[in-house]
Structure 1
Amino acid sequence: MPTPTPPPAPDHGATELPEDPFAQLIAVLSLERLGEATMSVTSGVDDTTSDAESRRDVFLGQSQRVPHGRVFGGQVLAQSIMAAGATVADEPGAAPRPIHSLHAYFVRPGDDKKPIRFSVQRVRDGGSFSVRRVHAIQDDDTIFVMYASFQEVADGLDHHEAMPEVPGPEDLPTVADQIGHLEHPVAQYAAYRRAIDMRHVEGGIWLNARPDQAPNQHVWMRAKGELPDDPLMHAAVLAYASDYALLEPVIRGHGLAWGDPRLRVASLDHVMWFHRPARADDWILYTQNSPSAQGGRGLGVGRMFSRDGTLLASVAQEGMVRLKDG
């Protein structure tokens, strides 16, 4: 169990977030820097071992309320990127180092009624790369662990795979078009309370399975407002959005839909490589497929392309995907 010793601070409880979903996203990504602390933090994966006490940068972030009461994984992922990146950007005299990869584990479900503390360890600052480790903590428990690497902009070999040809987002229905008429709180949240506009090329699987049962899909997505010209925030919002729908190819491939009462899904880990600069408020094509499902787990793999066909990022996530008996 983590044993943090935070710097003196007033009581930080959950604060009122804006009603507008996009403004709410900006608010939760605008972390409060609490300063430094001496902390001993468990790995989060094995609670029997912990780090020696060391100095950490500590940040506080708020949680978005969601219908199931558990912190959205994309939120804590994006907040961890903002926390880690803040400690890279404040290195005196250093050239900018954009994030280029992250490897993360969702350890425990978070409570969306409580804020989250982010402990950032400065693992290394080398000649070209900086590595950070982030623990997200609620009630002295680690709920999420992430390693992230940042690199100075450099020249080198350059190629990428081609974007598939699919219909544009303007020709596709919104989530609100598909399920906005339903009174169910989950449907209302997905239709109107998300900060990301998502449009499925093959059609959503909200209520009913699709007839083809193919373990792949294409989704257009973008933030529902104009983001600041901050590359770190655009990367964070890209990661935030990446956690939506990446396990859907697993579900789709087995003829299932989100509305199936037997279905139990939860993210286990998340890996992301940021290849090129991106604007998360422009349309991005998120191509997804599932190469494997077994043992109650399913793997989703994705590619993100800009509207002009440039490969921006690659993503992989394994999740728990189970069917409850009865």
Structure 2
Amino acid sequence: MKAIFDDRQWHHDPKHFMANGKVLPSPEQPERITRLRHGAEAAGCDFIAPKDAGLGPIAALHSPEYVTFLKNIYTRWQRIEGAGEEVIPNIHPANRSDNYPKSAVGQAGFHQADTACPIGKGTWEAAYWSAQSAVTGADLLADGARAGYALCRPPGHHAYGDLAGGFCFLNNAGIAAERLRASGLRAAILDVDVHHGNGTQGIFYDRDDVLTVSIHADPARFYPFFWGHGNERGAGRGIGYNLNLPLARGTGDDAYLKVLDTALERVAAFGADVVVVALGLDAYVGDPFKGLAITTPGFGRIGAAIAGLGLPTLFVQEGGYLCDELGENLTAALTGFEGA
């Protein structure tokens, strides 16, 4: 299996994170790259650098207003007297139809949903190449590859078309799915991250040409809180093309695999030609977020079950945070898929 990664993805090094009223180091550390890369190599992956497909695939999902913001906000922020080293919002609009301010502070509040997505000097460059890694992975599948792995960091599934959040800036899995759709393939996105892929859902919610399915910890008391509930089925033409499968906190391998069967049945019913897996490894029992209780062998079973679809599959890295088993969990997921 080919794996895709660009060294410029190291350049995003967030410092700020807040949880339960406490300021903490960000869990989305560059060190994740080292561990994930080792895990992919242990699974037999051969790494290549992404090609630069330009802004087109990104702009297919993200508004030009938002892209302009991401490209320029760090430089603008530095012109503010006494500003901090990272762009962090401190005010938000009541809704997305409120007026769009000229102020850098106001635009940060408009385009950043929370304090978990600080923008530093290297953020745009890293996010751009993370997205290009997903695009190159999509192109490999469009050219006939059976599978690929995009080591996307920063991750993407909490990013909406014009809104960053939850460590995410550009929606890598969505960009890959749209690229595949534009090439004539029928694409489904299967999100197995412990957190609901709210940005992915939001982007495709009123569309019937890309299926979105997410298995995640119940958001009633877990991030992202406001999205990811079972009654969210889509809107307009998209009704019935979004499936959320929230699970009780602490759900383990066997119960998870039963729900995964339901997700895979929906992908098959959609008539997908190709699957983009938003591969969060933070469902692991020992992950710092402690949402679900999947074991390392459990990730192997998840990979094997996905392979049972018999469809070309692109794994796009989402969550999975620093613990000793992070790389092993990726190895298990990829080898489980390849061995099935």
Q: TM-score if structure 1 supplies the norm length?
A: 0.30
**Which structure's relative contact order is higher, taking Cα pairs within 8 Å and 6+ residues apart?**
2
Larger radius of gyration: 1
Q: TM-score if structure 2 supplies the norm length?
A: 0.29
**Which of the two has greater strand per residue?**
1
